[in-house]
């Protein structure tokens, strides 16, 4: 059970925060390090968010699909070679797709 304290303290649970922010990049990449530092700073206020580096955009979507039924998630993907309008439309489509499959996604951005 995801809300069981024993489960949350096991090695199978990725973090203790109620929301996971998923981003592209690797664990030692600048994206995850910057976001992790920001969410631990006074600027974040009372927000409790774990930052998970997911590698590529495909990894980001796979982890959202895998963990998003147990943990509330927010996704941040790279814009890459898309225009702002196309990236925004793609994110909206991704959000609707994940919500339609029962993922507890709170936002998806580029």
Backbone angles phi, psi at 49, to 5 degrees: -135, 135
Q: Is residue 37 predicted with pLDDT exceeding 90? A: no
The CA distance from 51 to 102, in Å, is 21
Q: Where do the structural domains in the chain lie, given as residue ranges?
A: 23-86
Edge-to-edge strand order for the sheet containing 49-53? 49-53, 19-23, 72-76, 105-109
Q: How confident is the model at residue 9 (pLDDT cuts 50, 70, 90)?
A: very low
More confident residue, 9 or 68: 68
Averaged pLDDT score across all residues of the chain: 85
Specify the pLDDT at position 28: 78
The secondary element (H helix, E strand) that includes residue 73 is strand 72-76
């Amino acid at each position: 059970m995801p809300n069981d304290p024993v489960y949350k303290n096991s090695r199978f649970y990725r973090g203790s925060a109620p929301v996971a922010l998923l981003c592209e990049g690797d664990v030692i990449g600048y994206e995850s390090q910057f976001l992790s530092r920001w969410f631990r700073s006074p600027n974040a206020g009372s927000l409790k968010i774990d930052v998970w580096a997911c590698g590529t955009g495909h990894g980001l979507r796979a982890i959202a699909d895998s963990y998003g039924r147990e943990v509330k998630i927010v996704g941040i993907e790279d814009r890459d070679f898309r225009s702002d309008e196309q990236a925004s439309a793609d994110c909206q489509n991704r959000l609707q797709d994940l919500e339609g499959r029962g993922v507890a996604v709170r936002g998806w951005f580029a």
